[in-house]
Amino acid sequence: MAAQKAGDHGSALPRRRGPDLTGLAAFTLDSAGRVASWPVSAGRLFGHPAPAVAGSHVCDVLMTGPGQRELAGAALAEVAAGRVWTATVSMAFAGGSGPVALRWEPLGGPDAGVLVIGQHVSPDVGPGWLREAADRIGTTLDLPRTAREVADVAVPAFADVAVIFVFERLLAADEPVSSQTGHGAVVRRLVARVAGQPAAVTDSVLRPGEVLVFGDDSPSFRAMHTRSPVLFDRLDEESAERIARRPGGRDLASGWASFLSVPLVARGVVLGCATFGRAPQSPDFGPADVAAAGELASRAAVCIDNARLYHRERRTAFALQRGLLPGEPRVPAAMEVAHRYLPVGASMVGGDWHDIVALPGARVALIVGDAMGHGPEAAAVMVQLRTAAHLLAGLDLPPGEVLARLDALAAGMPTSPYATCMSAVIDTAASTCVLAAAGHPPPVLALPGGATQVLAVPAGLPLGLSAGTFEAAQVTLPPGATLALYTDGLAESRTRPLDDGIAALRDALGSALDQPGTPLDSACETVTQALRQRGEDDMTLVLARIRR
């Protein structure tokens, strides 16, 4: 089949070249997959004379590649069920190897045999291919998926194999890389596709995510270094040897006769390159292909860069959010404490915080707070208040004094934030608890047997209003009683007033702790899951109990 000429236009959709009877053959199999008839056309296409293949299994004659025996089994099962099976499979035929379109269909009733029609196909790109490619690439901001979309667009419509590479340092450190002669290039393979070969088989040889080095003599390096397409007819020795070290890699590396590497450039930065290959029976890459590949690479580079930037921002946000989450508290042996935090929406953190600070004399400070608002602004306020509260509690200041100093800090912030907070100190030896509140919902005490009561603590003003002082209250903790501190998101919503929410919280606590000795961790999980269904805000719950 003649090579595509520059300026040659096909149909408006990506396609293979039209039917060519010299590349078309039909033969039959019995129901077990053994060759029953082998006409001259099959011998001409696949290069096997009829006497050599009669009675042989199709997997021993044609479908000999990795994973193809499984494909043949699936095809026979489909035909046995009375259905037609089609696929494009990479296989050897007269004069070389490449993609062959196969159609398997039943000849008649059960065990009547199988008619197989095969045709060698070769790349051909029409003017509408790029328009379709633009629609199919960049449907998400997921980097691996975007790379797969690029490869799927290219194979088999444009090439028989496609591999997408991106500079490793650009992905790992967000640093643009300048390919310099004498230094090579460290890249990461995002995806590889081979026409007619299962993705799992291709991935076993050309592994996604693998980091490798292109030497100065690599055509892919030259494409990135010069920012220009590079045509070549064989892999460089280093790349060929690297691929050959994997099972099945030697055959894969030697199965191509024409290659084209094009740089991926977006926003003036070289991201990496796309390398395409064609089998010997496909036309060599020509000027029209170089132009088409350049257009594809331009579109692909922008989509890959968008996905890369999104991945970078998401990774940065994730790292910051993880840093904002509290560490594991040190709980005194005399105390049992459990806690749950459920952010609202997709955020990992918001305005809620809680802390547990061990104090001298078998005492422990508990702090629960809620900076008003959602998202990063609330989280920024929260982390400042949480850090300050931890330090102040660690100084063994009374709860009211802790709140007074937090109030002064909040009032002095540039954004004048508001926050509510509950500060408590439990003395395990005396079985008492001193509490102070800054506009925060009242604590609940769950007694053994399921009874609950709301503790009377002066409400105080929220932090940031310069209240100056906060009155504290002291309560006695009966044996086996559990103290519950929480944020309003656990109890209040637009459809449920705070009083009703506190009643629901008391019911949930009573049910979860009605049996003596119930582990607080399981009770905490039970209560938060029971109340989260109507949640519209971050939710925090801390349960504390003196061990007996």
| Cα distance between residue 221 and residue 227, in whole Å | 10
Do 303 and 336 fall within a single domain? Answer: no
Task: Judge if pTM exceeds 0.75.
Answer: no
How far, in Å, are 323, 333, 496 from residue 330 at the CA level?
18, 9, 35
* Residues 136 and 117 reside in one and the same domain: no
Residue 2 lies in a domain: no
CA 175 from centroid of its chain's CA atoms: 22
Q: What is the pLDDT of residue 533?
A: 66
Model confidence pLDDT, tens digit, residues 117-133: 887 766 656 667 777 88
- Asked whether residue 495 is domain-assigned, the answer is yes
The H-or-E segment that residue 77 falls in is helix 68-80
State pLDDT tens for residues 422-461. 999 999 999 999 999 999 999 999 998 889 999 999 989 9
User: Of 103-117, 226-240, 371-385, which gets the smallest average pLDDT?
Assistant: 371-385
User: pLDDT band at 24, cuts 50/70/90?
Assistant: confident
Cβ-based neighbours of 316, under 8 Å, separated by 6 or more: none
pLDDT confidence of residue 426:
96
72 with 161, same domain: the answer is no
My answer on whether 304 and 416 are in the same domain is no
Domain boundary among 93, 121, 149: 121
Residue-wise pLDDT for 347-400, tens only, equals 555 678 889 999 998 899 999 999 887 666 777 788 888 889 999 999 999 999
Kindly tell me if the per-residue pLDDT of 496 is higher than 50: yes
Q: Determine, yes or no, domain membership for 100.
A: yes
CATH at residue 202: 3.30.450.40
Q: Please indicate, yes or no, whether residues 163 and 252 belong to a single structural domain of this protein.
A: yes
One-character DSSP codes across 109-122: STTS-EEEEEEE--
Residues 234 and 329 in one domain: no
SS3 380: helix
Q: Assess contact for 384 and 434: CB atoms under 8 A.
A: no
Among 318, 352, 381, the domain boundary falls at 318
Q: Are residues 312 and 352 in the same domain?
A: no
Do 377 and 510 lie in one domain? The reply is: yes
DSSP, residue by residue, 39-53: -HHHHHHH---HHHH
What is the pLDDT at residue 275? 96
Q: Is residue 52 part of a domain?
A: yes
Looking at the structure, do residues 331 and 306 belong to the same domain, yes or no?
no
Question: Mean pLDDT, to the nearest integer, of 60-84?
Answer: 84
User: How many folded domains does the chain comprise?
Assistant: 3
The CATH number of residue 357's host domain is 3.60.40.10
Q: Are residues 140 and 247 in the same domain?
A: yes
| 12 in a structural domain | no
My answer on whether 137 and 117 are in the same domain is no
Q: Are residues 528 and 483 in the same domain?
A: yes
Q: How many CB atoms lie within 10 A of CB 513?
A: 29
Q: What is the pLDDT of residue 408?
A: 92
Residue 10: band (very low, low, confident or very high) from pLDDT cuts 50, 70, 90: very low
Domain of 93? 18-121
Q: In the listed set 302, 318, 334, which residue is the last one of a domain according to the structure?
A: 318
